[in-house]
Structure 1
């Protein structure tokens, strides 16, 4: 199975736009959605990015790799060295690495990657059935 680079690039861009919009319009969303939406969208973006970089990776490996990267980034937030704190104090660094460790983020990452896996499965099934 080979993923379409154009499709995955569009999915990455769309997810980034939705993620930034969710932050911009956070006041209009319920608190329980705001709690994990950004983290779930970040994990979804990671899923699309890894699928873009490795277009032939199996969906199972893609899911495992995405979760491992998301979890590794979250656990790295326990590291409080000066150099990584300086990176996190930059807006771009904070968007990529986050600011502080939360167990609930692991759930949001799992939901985000699971959403990507589900969408991908749906898209793959739709593409295969249309042939």
Structure 2
């Protein structure tokens, strides 16, 4: 989802740049879960905070973000290669 959102906002950037930015955003959000100040804990108790900031840090989430973004990156590359071959 993050890859797609970044792609919407930066449609003319290279797919590798989009993948890198997406990973930075996902990793940033995940590592932010290690920060436990009172104000952010209260924000996480809201629906918005729970869905955007998450509840707790998990290494498995880092792995899932990485594989998910790599999967979408590969799908985009394959699709664009196919479409370029078809139009040529």
Structure 1 length normalisation: TM-score?
A: 0.63
1:114 to 56, 63, 70: 70
Superposed structure 1 runs of 4+ greater than 3 Å apart = none
Aligned length: 87
Match of 2:5 in 1: 49
Distance in 2 between the 1:87 and 1:124 partners?
A: 40
Distance in 2 between the 1:129 and 1:89 partners?
A: 50
Secondary structure at the counterpart of residue 56 of structure 2: coil
Unaligned runs of 5+ in 1: 1-44
Structure 2 length normalisation: TM-score?
A: 0.90
Over residues 4-53 of structure 1, what are the superposed CA-to-partner deviations in whole Å (9 max), with x where a residue is unaligned?
Answer: xxxxxxxxxxxxxxxxxxxxxxxxxxxxxxxxxxxxxxxxx000000000
**RMSD over aligned Cα atoms:** 1.1
Does structure 1 residue 102 correspond to structure 2 residue 58? Answer: yes
Unaligned runs of 5+ in 2: none
